[in-house]
Amino acid sequence: MKVIITGAGRLGRHTAQVLAAARNEVTIVEEDDDVVAALEGALPVRLVTGDACEPAVLEEAGVLTTDLVIATTGDDEDNLVISLLAKRQFAAPRVVARINDPDNTWLFDERWGVDAAVPADASLISLIEEATSSTDTVALLRLSKAGVNVIETTITSQSRAVGHALADIAVPAGTVVAAVIRDGEPAAPDAGIRLRPGDELLLVSHSATEKEVHAAFQ
């Protein structure tokens, strides 16, 4: 599946990490040059610098052949303009948009090209489920088109994995850690990283269940 994510804030980055880990072709559009430079090599995605509210930038990102556009900027006006352009001008098959201000919820519908709207306080999982509903999401995040599960687990102070290096954790067969998100920033899953309370782990598995993955860490 080809995906365009507009906005490289925390939600945009995490969404890109999950979808890329599930073997989707992901492009992030971000207008801040410094943010784009910081992301170079940090995420397995294509980066496009520019304002996604401009049709030419969306075209450069590949909107004419994309399967999904996700507008995750921190500005509702921008998310609506992006959604309208993606759906009305470029006929994107599915458009998902983030709502930052609850008072604007009534605007986020098909009139503005929005197929699914996600409140800013919704979980990452909720956004991905909305975004991938057309690909038969099952269980937590079963991306059937990719043939894998992407499972999220959070380390708490009671988790058995606290203080242990990632290499010491026996994850189920056919499962790999795609990212460790610490203090809101995704980090490469280095084998020597020691897990702390609050760490969020994204794991990709071809066969393990959510229960089996949680049991390894909790």
Q: Convert the pLDDT of each residue in 45-100 to its tens digit.
A: 999 999 999 999 999 999 999 999 999 999 999 999 999 999 999 999 999 999 99
The residue from 68, 101, 135 where one domain ends is 135
Q: What is the pLDDT of residue 137?
A: 35
Q: Where are the alpha helices (H) located in 68-131, listed in sequence order?
A: 76-84, 124-131
Whether residue 84 sits in one domain with residue 178: no
* Measured distance CA(3)–CA(21) in Å, rounded: 13
The residue from 80, 113, 135 where one domain ends is 135
* Domain total in the chain: 2
Q: Where are the alpha helices (H) located in 68-207, listed in sequence order?
A: 76-84, 124-131
CATH number of residue 42's parent domain: 3.40.50.720
User: What is the residue range of 69's domain?
Assistant: 2-135
Task: Specify the pTM.
Answer: 0.66
Backbone angles phi, psi at 22, to 5 degrees: -90, 20
The residue from 135, 163, 187 where one domain ends is 135
CATH number of residue 183's parent domain: 3.30.70.1450
Whether residue 86 sits in one domain with residue 165: no
Residue 142 within any structural domain of the chain: no
Whether residue 118 sits in one domain with residue 77: yes
Whether residue 99 sits in one domain with residue 18: yes
Residue 141 within any structural domain of the chain: no
Over the range 161-196, which residues count as b (16 or more CB within 10 Å of their CB) and which as e?
beeeebeeeebeeebebbbbbbeeebeebeeebebe
User: In this structure, are residues 94 and 134 in contact, taking their beta carbons and an 8 Å threshold?
Assistant: yes
Give pLDDT tens digits for 139-189: 334 443 345 667 778 888 888 899 999 888 888 887 878 778 887 676 667
